[in-house]
Structure 1
Amino acid sequence: MNSQLTGTADTNSKYLKKYEIVCDLGEGYGRYTVAPDEEIMKIIDVANIACGFHGGDYNIMRRMVKLAKKFNVKVGSHPGFPDRMGFGRRKWDISPEEVYNMVIYQTGALKAFLETEGMKLNHIKPHGELYFYVERNKEIMKAVLTAAKNLNVPVVGAKNKDYARMAEQMGVDFIQELYVDIDWTVDGKLVPVAESRTKNPQIIHDTILKAGWTDSITSLDNKKVTLNFGPNPFLLCLHSDFSDALENIKVARKAIDLLNQKK
């Protein structure tokens, strides 16, 4: 069986001239750290910065922004549910209005830190369960896109025809990404972290090259999934909170650089 992911990639070509690596950072709290943020920041092209709800705080946010400026990394907001204990990965019953308010609140805080450093907000990308909730519920999807529209920035998300279509209808640019350190189902749906297999660096390296060279990936049950990105480059995303995150990202950097050399 060969499943296909659908959804336009036109806006990707507007923002991406090459394949780029994106990572979620700044997800610690106070003296607690989740990832080697500075080491990762040196390697990546784009950072999604936690904004204080599922992780992060005002000190961490400022430090992440300053690091991003130092290493010339683009910054997007990474708003999530106010659920530190569950790391923003547990289901919440929440209204579209409250989702809109949460996204504006968190993104606004990060935007202020960026402006003090002379930087611009690159995009909004929901975190964890909010990322999945957007794909399940069109009212939640609309709430996130409305926040992005009012802040005049793109949204980053998984390849999804409904998401891409609604973004286009609302006049919001939609930048599509591919997670390479967790699994996909045969019908092209992302598997939540808690349900996904752990991927070692070699698998991640091979997944990236396969995605770029064949426009496909292998599903959780070993079936081919066609991505339909065509010749357009796209974002390749990895988590920073995995035990092998730094090694995963180093290997991903090598694979992505190889893809860009072959373009």
Structure 2
Amino acid sequence: MTRTIDLNCDMGESFGVWTLGNDLEVLPYVTSANIACGFHGGDPGVMRRTVAAALRHGVALGAHPGLPDLMGFGRRVMDISPREVYDLVVVQVGALAGVAASQGAALHHVKAHGALYNMASKNRELATAIAQAVRDVDASLILYALASTVQVEVAQELGLAVAQEVFADRSYQSDGSLTPRKEPDAMIVDADVSVRQVLRMVEQGKVGTVQGEDIAVSPDTLCIHGDQPGAAMFARTIRQALDEAGVTVRAARS
């Protein structure tokens, strides 16, 4: 049976005079883009240009809300309440929806960024705040969430469409979480290793962990990071491997 997967990438994370990532080089190979909304990265001009570039390539638009932490790039854990999380997600999703509407387009999905994503994958109250915010802004949006976590459960309970996400360029812990970036081997930098992990997840529903165990995953969407060195090469190599394996690559559907 032919498998289907979405290939997504975090984008639009430059701001001001600071440039991050290789968005234009990666866009030809992905099917959905998670676009920063100004809190952890991005600014109004970057948001507009990234939306336009994604539309030129026929790539689905997603909001990528993060913690209000430009200096830490949204990757530092914060003591934040569910009410605050709800508010910041509403504002960021609403902002990118407005940018998309100004170009005759609409959002397709929402994916939390960085520490917010990881916190909500383990904390039911924060996961509920994110899912409720997405539903209240636009209940037709798909929530991208780390596979087999409480964030998936909560979103489904609230009636949201969910795309369970796996990662091409990150290693896994035995509890299904991603290895923290500060630890060794958190990032997969060898494209061949990444391809083997990707094909095993898509074809067998399994991924190896740094502890040497296998865990089950149900991948709907596959993430690569646009800010890592060689991102365009990674995207091209993974897309080619999926195509050669007979895997249909398209944006997630509700």
TM-score by length of 2: 0.90
Partner of 1:252: 238
Tell me which of 172, 183, 193 is aligned to 2:181: 193
Q: d(CA) in 2 for partners of 1:128 and 1:41?
A: 21
Describe the SS at the equivalent of 1:121. Answer: coil
What is residue 4 of structure 2 aligned with on the other side?
18
Task: Note the alpha carbon deviations across 1:186-235, whole angstroms, 9 max, x for none.
Answer: 232222223251321111111111112222111112222222x2xxx621
Contact 2:144 2:163 in 1 (8 A): yes
State how far apart, in whole Å, the 1-side matches of 2:112 and 2:120 are: 8
Structure 2 residues without counterparts, runs of 5 or longer: 250-254
Question: What is the letter of the counterpart of residue 58 of structure 2?
Answer: N
Is 1:158 the counterpart of 2:146? The answer is yes
Q: CA offset at residue 261 of structure 1? A: 4.5
Q: 2:22 aligns with which of 36, 39, 57?
A: 36
Residue of structure 2 equivalent to 1:225: 215
1:22-81 Cα deviation digits (max 9, x unpaired): 000011111221111111112110000000011000000000000011000001100001
Name the structure 2 match of 1:112.
98
1:73 aligns with 2:63: no
Task: Please tell me whether residue 183 in structure 1 is matched to residue 167 in structure 2.
Answer: no
The DSSP-based 3-state class of the residue aligned with 1:217 is strand
Tell me the CA shift for residue 160 of structure 1. 2.4
Higher relative contact order (CA 8 A, sep 6+): 1
Counterpart of 2:110 in structure 1 is: 124
- Structure-2 separation of matches of 1:262 and 1:50: 27
| Native 8 Å contact 1:50 1:61 kept in 2 | yes
In 1, Cα distance between the equivalents of 2:70 and 2:87? 18
Cα displacement string for residues 227-254 of structure 1 (whole angstroms, at most 9, x for unaligned residues): 2x2xxx6211011111122211111111
Matches within 5 A, 1:164-179: 164-179=152-167
**DSSP 3-state at the match of 2:166:** strand
Say which is worse superposed, 82-91 or 194-203, in terms of deviation. Answer: 194-203
- Deviations 1:118-148, CA, capped at 9 Å, x for gaps: 1111111100000011122211111100011
CA distance in 1, matches of 2:170, 2:36: 20
> Which residue identity lines up with residue 212 of structure 1 in the other structure?
V
Q: Distance in 2 between matches of 1:224 and 1:212?
A: 14
Aligned identity (percent) is 33
Q: Distance in 2 between matches of 1:192 and 1:135?
A: 13
Moved more, 183-192 or 22-31: 183-192
Cα separation, 1, equivalents of 2:96 and 2:242: 28
Structure 1's unaligned 5+ residue stretches are: 1-16
